[in-house]
Structure formats: C-alpha cells, structure tokens
Structure 1
Amino acid sequence: MAAAADHQRGLDQARADVTTLKAMMTELAQIKDDEISGLEQRLEEHSALLESSISEGLQKDETLQQLREQIERGETKAADLQRTLDERDSELDALAKGLPKLTGGADADDSPHALDAIRAALSAAITERTRLEKEAEHLRSVNDKLGQKSAQLRDMYKADMLELRAQENKQRERAESLAAERAQDARHAESQAEKLGRAQSELTELRKRCADLERAAVAERPVLPQTPGKHGGSRQHASIKNIDDDAAGAAAVAMLSPVPASRLNTRPAVLADADCPPRKRIATAVAAAAAPESVPAPAVSDLAKAGEAPRAHSSYGGRRRIRRNQPQPPRQGSREDQSAEQCVQQ
C-alpha cells in the first residue's frame, strides 16, 4: 500500500510538473509572440519613416534644384541690369563732365537753357533707369512664375512616366502570364492528344483481339459434312462414326435433336413411328445408345399380380405416359430403321 501511495504521489507530482512546464512553455511562446509583434511593428514604423524621409529628401532636392536654377537666372538678369546701369552711369558721368564746358563757354543768357537741358537729360536718364529696374523686377517675377510652372510640369511628367511604367509592367506581367497559360494549354492539349492516340491504339488493339478471338472460335468449331436437304438445300449433321458413345453422345444428341436430352435419355428408343422424321429417329437411337440402361416402368398386369391397383389416369397426358413407358419391340423392314441400326452398331 505504501508503495502504491508513493507511486501515486510520484504520478501526481509528474502531472503537476508537466502542467507547470506546459504553462511555462505557453508563457514563453506568448512572450516570443509579443516580442515578434513588437519587432514587426517597429520594422513597419522604421519603414514608414524611411519612406517619408526618402520622399522628403526628394522634395528637398527638387526644391534646391529649383532654387539653384532661379538663383542662376537671377544672377544672369542682375548682371544684365548691372551692365545697363553701368552704361547709364557712364552716360551721366559724361554729361556731368560736359556740364562745366557748357556753363563756362555759354553766355549768361544761354546758361539757363543749358541747365534745363542738363536737368532734362538727367531726369530722362533717371527715368530710363527706373524703367529698366521695373522691367528687371517684372522679368524676375515672370521668371519665378515660369520656374514654378516648369516644376509643376516636371512633376506631372514624372507622375505620367511613373504611371506609364506601372502600366507597362502590368502589361508585361499580363503578357507573361498569358504566354504561360498558352504554353500550359498547349502542353495540356498535347497530353490530351497523346492520351487520345493511346486510347485509339488500345481500341484498335482490342478490336483486333476481338476479331482474332472470333476467327479462332470459328476455326475451332467442328466442321460438319454437308448433306442434301429435303427441299434441295444442304444441312450439317455429325458423322456417327466420329462420335464416341461414352464421351460425346450427349453432345451429339443436343446438337442434332431439338428434343431435350433429359426426355431422350429417360424413354426407350422408338424407331418405327410414322410421324417421327428420320433425323429424329436417328437422334433418338443415338441417345438411347449413349444413355445408360433405363429401367422400364412396370406394366399394368405386373401391378395387378403384385396386388397394387393401378393409378387412374383420366388425362390424355397420363395415358400417353403409360403408353410411352411400356416397352415396345423395335420394328424392322423400313430403310430408315435399318440405317439407324447400322449407325448404332457402328
């Protein structure tokens, strides 16, 4: 009992250890699943951040490229304007240099006119410079608008190119899938054609075998001699000489006579019936010779001597059976009977 109790306690402890181990394994699996899910989430976040950083970098590159182009265009225009202003300054300097000469060489009466002319020239130069500055500013604004339009067109072009490439990739994949499906259909068609060819060859072989079996069955049939029939035709009959009375008598009877063999074997041979055709009489004689000796039924006189009353047969069939069971001596004298007896003896 103590050993059984110890064994039971050991089993309970083992079950508890197994349960604890299962719980620990489940907890570890849950921890691993949580870690894996956290890592996957972090990976997705890093992937999203990387994609956003890449997109922002591309946008910044495009912006810097646009700014660089605008700066280059602005520098070019500024250089042009600077050259224009330098030209106007040189003109003003030339006018300023010529002003003392005009004032010194002119009379008192002509000095106001000369000053007015110089003022008019200076105001015209200032007006021209202002106009040029406005025109340069207008050109800068137009250039900026053109730069923005160019950037929009570039973005549209890139989007269109990306869409076209995506459509091209889809069309290529579709074409490859269609080609693979067409190849698979071709292989399936070839396999079906091969199966059909094999089935046709097997069918031809089966037909050939059937024909061979039919020819073999026809060749194995016994060849029966032809004798002239009653109405000018020909009929086949088995030669009695080639029939073994012990082995093939019943087969010969079944082949020659339409009467069942059971009836032919259980009744005596009647060779002189006028209503029986010669062929039937020959078959009856052959059956009688091949069958075992049949025991004739007792006659009515024998039954009377034995003290037994004969059974009453009120029907035509009963009287016919009585006549059939009574032995009758064979009649002689007809040619058919003699030929039948000769056949039986042979």
Structure 2
Amino acid sequence: MRMRSTSLFLSCSLLAPTAFGLAPKGPWDAFNYAPTSKTVYPAAIREMEGTVTNSQQLVNNAGSATLSGQGTWVTLDFGVEVGGLISLNFDSVAANSSIALSFTESPSFIRPTASDDSSFPDASTTYDGVLHVPAPLPRGHWTQPAFSLRGGFRFLTIVSTAPQSLTISNVSCAISFMPHVDDLRAYTGYFFAQDPLFHDPDFLTKIWMAGAYTVQTNTVPVNTGRQVPFEPAGHWANNATLGIAGPIIVDGAKRDRAVWPGDMGIAVPTQFVSTNDLIPTRNALATMFSNINPTTGALPESGPPLSQLGSDTYHCWTLIGTHNYYLYSGDLEWIQTIWTNYTKAVAFLEAKVDPKAMLFFIRSY
C-alpha cells in the first residue's frame, strides 16, 4: 500500500480577536472567498442575448454598456456568492425604457424571465420571478429597494423590457451580510492542507474556506428575514424581523433566512474557528429563549417569522448550542440572563422520560 504524503497546518484563535489578533498571512489566503470590499463589481460577462454594446465595460466598473431592443439581456458574474442590494447608473434612457433583474446562484438557472427560488421552493424553480424596474427610469444612480434584497446569488441578469435602448454603468452589489464587520477577510483562524497525490492538492483547504465564507453569508442584519406568509408567486421580500437583535446567524443566505438551532450545530463551530465572531450566535440563541413557552418550557423549532413549533430535536439543539456558545466564549454574564429559561427547557425534556428511562421525541429529523 502506498502511503499518501500530506502536509497539514491548522490553527484557530481560541480567545477573542482583540487578544490574539488576526490569523497570520500565508498560502491559505489565496483560498479566502470573502471579497476585499463590501462593494463588489462584476468580475466577468457570463452570457448575453440580443444587442449589447460594450458589455465588457460593465466588468469591474470600467464604463458604460448599451442594451438595445426589448428582450435583450446580459448576465454578469460576480465570481463568488454575494448578497445584498444592486446599484447601477442609468446613463441614458428613453421615456418608456424599463428593465428587469433576475438572480441565481447557479449558471444552470440563468434566465431573463425568472430568478432561482428563495421565497418558496416551487418545482418549477420560477416562483420568485424577476424584479421589475418600470418606466420612467430615473437618470443617474439607482439602488434596488431594500425589501427586495437578494440574500445569495452569483449571477445577475439585466434585461431590457422595452424597445428603446438604454445605457447603464456602475453595476455593483452592496454586501449586506456581516453588517458589523468592515473587513470580511479578517479571519482569526486559518486552515491549510495539501495532498499532492489527490487530483486537487488544495481540496481540503478549499472546503474549509468555503465553509467559513458560507457562514459569513449567513450572518445577516436582523431586519432582512424572509417574509412569512410567503410573497405570492412572482415576488419575494426579505424585510422581516428575525429576532431580538442583530447581527444574527440564519440557516441560509438565500433561503430560509431564519434561525434554525440544528443548523447552528455545524455553523457555530465553523464561525468560532474561522472568525471567532460569536455575537450573531448569542443573538440567535437569545431569540430562541425569548420565544420559550412560559407554561411548558418548550422551545420553538425555528426563529421568527417562520416560528415553527413542535420539534424536540431542535429544542435540544438550542440547549446544545447554548453549551457551545459558553464553551467558546466563557460568557457567564449572558448565561445568567437565560438560565431560568434554560433550566425550564431542560425540565421540559425530563418530563418526557418514561419509566424505562427512555426519552420520547416528537418530530425528530
């Protein structure tokens, strides 16, 4: 048997960033997916159809491009998953000019007529539709309305929905996740592993860094949750309140955009070893305890506005998550604020133990 030669370097700061500072610079930085700025510009043109003049000028904010004719469209590739609000300049428009924007994480769902689903997972994959920007278009700078924030996407398609030509420039996305952090690449932990015999020697490093960045995209402002009840077909809205304070960690940047304690079982350790940013975790846990059933001690399955109930498994995950938060932070002061509800939640489980010392669970996944 041939033994594989693997070099492995793993480090994570175990104390607050103010005590240990940032991770050292090294070859692992090449695999950090986080953008260097919280304003990101398209990195490439992915596709286009119809008459688009100077499309390449939209890359890295190089200049203006003109879309001529109804149904003409261009798809911009931001290079990585981003999320937030789109801004652009309308340099030249006619009285009846109008556009639509569609968003997708995967190139398989690039379409001028629909985004990938974020509001509701419909089998057609077209539930969300597009964001219409109707005539008359304002000359100058335009920013996507806050309610229509798109939590996770890589590809943006801009469609001309009128016969008249229009010229646009300065297309960008203002990153909305990690609102309390200026430098998204300021990791306190790092990971580097190489396997020269694997087809991609840096595969493990890429996985670790992708996980770290995914958790960053899931750390969102408290007022950017998915609306429940869901918007009707052809629409989406991400302006619901997610908890008692923000920033807050949710299960997914695009969907569901809600606190799910089971998901935190993986996300929180990832957050700890990569950025040591535990404020979103504390806010998520505090939200769950603030919604405890005062009579039974049952904790909700998910945070608001979804606020699903009835899962003993996710009840346990809130308790486990609280243990993990204290283990990583040593924040006894906060633990004391929720201790009464914590013990009430433990008593809820104890009451389910039968004479054979078996714990009966409901809605376990």
Tell me the TM-score range normalised by the shorter chain.
under 0.3
Greater relative CO (CA pairs within 8 A, separation 6+): 2
Structure number with the higher helix fraction is 1
* Structure number with bigger Rg: 1
Structure number with the higher strand fraction is 2
